[in-house]
Structure 1
Amino acid sequence: MTTTSNPVNAAVRAGLQRGWIEFRTIATSAADLLGWLWMPIVALVVMYTLRGTTVPGTTFSLGAQAVPGILAMTVVFTGMMGLAMALTSEREDGTLLRAKATPHGVLGYLTGKVVGQATLTVAALLVVLVPSAFLFDGLRLGAVGAWLTLVWVLALGLVATLPIGAVLGSLAPRPQSLGFVMLLITGLVMASGVFYPVTAFPAWLQWIAQVFPLYWLGLGMRSALLPDALAVAEIGESWRHLETAAVLGAWAVLGFVVAPMVLGRMARRATGSTVREPAT
């Protein structure tokens, strides 16, 4: 038993170390940081220009109401899509093939990618939260309960979305193939109440939004950061914590069932012939 488990434990430890190194590499590169942070920063600037506009039926700033949605959008684009793009690119440049050549190397590689992308996502969220504390009034950033809710929603949201990113990265034949997926997700962001209460949309669009984890991520983060009175702008005039946990949990379970099968298939198909020739 010890002989079997030690190589696995070593691969996981190596993956954790690799993930931290990858995060530090990005964090110390201004160009890389800008590449990951420009979208939430632009969204934050747009919402700041709307701080004088109020949520329909309330006196609360529409800009402040959108901050939790921007956080949810950051989880999806930085975490989920970031992992998808990394897997697709590194499958082509031979990184995955090199990992496959070592015992439990794929496990260590995937552990590193997940840890690195999750850490980067948390850092990106702080980049949004810190200035929001000064730019917008009414956010519950001083309440302990708000942070506890934010932590469990974020943790469950990452567990629900990162496997989706792994699946997308495994299925995409080329990095460019993810462009269409990005376009679809951008449309989903618009329909999920990130910039405007979803209750203002047609009923059929509200149902579509509720199928995907992005809406529930945004709802859970709104429940953490916004006053309870703002629940009146939500579906059912409630934060629906139980439903949030159930839907995100269901996506997490689905992801943990599907992702290993798809990733295993991708790793088995990784050969020297699938590695992209370097440009000359």
Structure 2
Amino acid sequence: MNAVRLGWTRGLIELRQSFTNAADLVSHFLWPVMMLVVLWFLRDRDFGSSGFVLGTLALPSILGMNAAMGMVSMSQQLTADREDGTLLRAKATPHGMRAYLIGKIVSVSGGLLADLAILLIPGMLLIGGLAAGDAGSWLTLLWVLLLGMVATLPIGAILGSVFTSARSQGLIQLPVLGMIGISGIFYPITSLPDWLQWIAQVFPVYWLGLGMRSALLPDGAAAIEIGDSWRHWETVGVLGAWAVAGLIVAPIVLRRMARRESGSSVAARREKALQRVG
């Protein structure tokens, strides 16, 4: 309980700092604003003869994509903390690693929720045709979001443990962008070849987008989905499987990574970083 309390406090402090720092504020607003610009250009473009516009279909999908991107934020922050010695200092304190991980979950989740609100509130004013007027829609959005974060944040912790420097995080970006491209975020997945549809359904990005669409779109929009259905049970199954796998593997990988951390390893990484700058 002491670790939980310390982690919660640490996470709130980091979250508050992210909204009082100019660079972090830019990162909070830049991506949602870019997505709102994309939605503006899609607001009047129809998707075939479905009767729906691409902007209406894309808004909830982008919310799901942003929720999945929490794993990238988790990975980047964990790697940065390894490089500057923050993780080593946490390791040296009683229950420090538990408190550190809890704090990171709190700060990343809080920042993610804020980013989603920055996108959703003006997006609902910009885009019409959404079915967000009843409690059931918001309840669906809530459970999809919570399950999605449990499914993706441990993946981010694993990736942050594997990559040893912030510079190597660039290796993550291309596969993530590839997943987004085939997951039906900006255009319905049923317009893609069948083999790409099967690949997309392996990863959580597609299911987060589908879950968000089921929450915010009218029932008739399910006709353009695979199987003409929102497939809630399949969404629970796939996201749940990723969550269980991540929660099992992440603590093991984090413990092994923490055991390898030492003052000499931090100093070596800092020396390499200085050489790159030089």
Q: Same fold (TM over 0.5)?
A: yes
Instruction: Quote the residue 1:179 is aligned against.
Output: 170
Aligned equivalents of 1:247 and 1:240: distance in 2?
A: 11
Instruction: Quote the residue 2:15 is aligned against.
Output: 23
Matched, 1:52 2:44: yes
Question: Contact 2:132–2:217 (CA<8 Å) still a contact in 1?
Answer: no
From 188, 191, 195, the counterpart of 1:200 = 191
Question: Contact 1:44–1:70 (CA<8 Å) still a contact in 2?
Answer: no
Structure 2 unpaired stretches of 5+ = none
Instruction: Quote the residue 2:218 is aligned against.
Output: 227
Counting only pairs closer than 5 Å after superposition, residues 50-129 of structure 1 correspond to structure 2 as: 50-77=42-69, 79-129=70-120
Aligned equivalents of 1:37 and 1:181: distance in 2?
A: 22
SS at match of 1:277: helix
Letter in 1 for 2:111: L
Aligned equivalents of 1:226 and 1:213: distance in 2?
A: 20
Instruction: Quote the residue 2:230 is aligned against.
Output: 239
Counting only pairs closer than 5 Å after superposition, residues 138-177 of structure 1 correspond to structure 2 as: 138-177=129-168
Q: How many residues align?
A: 271
Instruction: Quote the residue 1:277 is aligned against.
Output: 270
Matched, 1:13 2:16: no
Aligned equivalents of 2:197 and 2:172: distance in 1?
A: 20
Deviations along 1:29-55, one digit per CA (max 9) or x if unpaired, are: 232122233223212211211111112
- Normalising by structure 1, we get a TM-score of 0.94
Give the superposition deviation at 1:181: 1.0
Structure 1 unpaired stretches of 5+ = 1-8
Letter in 2 for 1:209: A
Matched, 1:190 2:185: no
Deviations along 1:64-119, one digit per CA (max 9) or x if unpaired, are: 11011111121122x11111001101011110100111111010011100110001
From 198, 201, 205, the counterpart of 1:210 = 201
Bigger mean CA deviation after superposition, 26-35 or 81-90:
26-35
Aligned residues: CA RMSD: 1.2
Aligned equivalents of 2:235 and 2:49: distance in 1?
A: 24
Aligned equivalents of 2:225 and 2:29: distance in 1?
A: 28
Give the superposition deviation at 1:240: 0.2
Give the superposition deviation at 1:57: 2.7
